[in-house]
Copies of this chain bind each other. A is one copy, B any other.
Amino acid sequence: MTIDQSLKSWVASANGHRDFPIQNLPLGIFSEAKGRRRPGVAIGDYVLDLVAIADLLDEDMREDFEQPVLNAWFARGPEAQRRLRERLAELLSDARYRDDIEPQLIGQSEVRLHVPCLVGDYTDFYVGIHHATNVGKQFRPDQPLLPNYKYVPIGYHGRASSVRPSGEDVIRPGGQRKGPDEEVPTYGACRRLDYELELGIWIGQGNELGSPIPIGEAGEHIAGYCLLNDWSARDLQAWEYQPLGPFLAKNFHTSVSGWVVSPDALAPFRKAMPARPAGDPAPLPYLDDAADRETGALAVQLEVTLTTERMRAEGVAPHVLSRGSADAAMYWSAAQIVTHHSSNGCNLQPGDLIGTGTLSTDQDEGLGSLLEISRGGKQPVTLANGETRSFLEDGDEITLRAWCEGGGAVRIGFGECVGRVVGSGQA
């Protein structure tokens, strides 16, 4: 359910909070220094411990909240999630509950967020059409998009075991690198390490093997959204990816933000899918849905910033690498992604993670990777303190942020997805 836009919380910091007003209420898995992992909800500057307030929730929810991951809760589907939102909004707005609940609020700075689910499968899509075009141009100037792109929401399987929470260091991968002017490859540390700005989709209810999810029901299978950084080793990728796609170039680390922003919280920020350019084919019927056409786009603002070791030492403000929005980037909607993924009968499971693919806009300031910003490394970007970057150096820290605002609705945010590159000791 969409929470009334005028509702205020008795948690003072929530009202006007850039990310976590009472209209957001994202779930996550957190722990304190010595505590166990458990579910919480973000409200203002705090996390509310859902285990500690279990007596105030419906009995059937309590068992799920005893888990250190949200898979079982996500499996319950949208009705249960809406019931919880409604109850949390009541508990956090009605002053009668304040005395009971306030002691169970923990400062967000005192907790660690974890990957919210045990990821059964992680799939990465490629629905950012400007990214696909920009990358395609570097390989095929005359035909940046392949003929299937406007029919098929292109995706591939990624690595579940290396999905990591925001804040965990990214160890520079090693691998086979072969430059265009090198005769043979060598094994060593990646020389062209990059980030990719994506949204993540958390799957709620799954489907049985052999039973595709119709497009009209796809939204009911989405538990929420997060930020996702698809760290990429471009030199490994260029050498390894044919004919079966990216592998070691991607599977060394994928960062996700900790809070799961629900479809209901995002509802005020849905808009019509951008009109397909003249000449583009209509989606095939199994991917076409009137409601999805009208509300399938997400007006999510996106930002990427970089700090280097020197910038942090000098106290220089983070360098903004890009600003854009998801609705200007995505050729296919989240519902189309989910439906296509299951269209062959593939079974999605609660807690599965799906990346959208890199979300670049068609503007120079909205590019979602250094590969695009530096034009394949040919045009290094100059940072605020005079340093330059074609790709990431050890010590570089990338922060992804996302938020929704405007249209008379209260601003909500995703929080951050942060990762710092550290050396592996390899040459």
Contacts and interface: CB of A to CB of B under 8 A. Distances in A.
A242 B146 contact: yes
A113 B187 CA distance: 41
A69 to B, nearest CB: 14
A253 B209 CA distance: 8
Interface residues of A, number: 63
Tell which of A156, A164, A173, A285 has the most Cβ of chain B within 10 Å.
A156
A343 B175 CA distance: 6
Contacts of A126: 244
A279 to B, nearest CB: 13
Contact of A343 (B210, B248, B284, B285): B248
Contact of A244 (B156, B186, B187, B212): B156
B171 A209 contact: yes
Nearest to A164: B209
B244 A161 contact: no
A295 interface: no
A345 interface: yes
Given A239-B148, A242-B148, A424-B210, A344 B158 contact: no
A239 B153 CA distance: 12
Interface stretch (A320-328, A346-354, A386-394): A346-354
A426 to B, nearest CB: 9
Contacts of A408: none
A157 B251 CA distance: 9
A184 B240 CA distance: 30
A162 interface: yes
Tell which of A157, A236, A242 has the most Cβ of chain B within 10 Å.
A157
Given A121-B159, A239-B152, A344 B245 contact: no
Interface string A7-42: 000000000000000000000000000000000000
**Copy number of this protein in the oligomer?**
2
Tell which of A146, A148, A158 has the most Cβ of chain B within 10 Å.
A148
B248 A120 contact: no
A286 to B, nearest CB: 5
A176 to B, nearest CB: 6
Tell which of A155, A176, A348 has the most Cβ of chain B within 10 Å.
A176
A377 interface: no
A210 B344 contact: no
A366 interface: no
A174 B244 contact: no
Nearest to A169: B210
Contacts of A121: 159-161
A284 B176 contact: yes
A344 B120 contact: no
B161 A158 contact: no
Interface string A91-126: 000000000000000000000000000001100001
Contact of A120 (B160, B176, B244, B347): B160
A158 B157 contact: yes
Contact of A286 (B187, B236, B246, B343): B187
B155 A244 contact: yes
A186 B152 CA distance: 11
A372 to B, nearest CB: 16
Tell which of A146, A246, A248, A284 has the most Cβ of chain B within 10 Å.
A248
A315 interface: no
Contacts of A160: 120-121, 160
Contact of A212 (B136, B155, B174, B343): B174
A403 interface: no
B345 A173 contact: yes
A407 interface: no
5 contacts: A148-B176, A152-B176, A190-B344, A245-B245, A249-B344
Nearest 5 A-B pairs (CB), nearest first? Answer: A245-B245, A173-B344, A171-B210, A157-B157, A156-B244
Given A120-B160, A161-B209, A187-B284, 16 more contacts: A120-B161, A148-B239, A151-B176, A151-B185, A154-B244, A156-B245, A157-B157, A157-B158, A157-B251, A171-B210, A187-B343, A210-B424, A233-B344, A243-B245, A248-B341, A345-B424
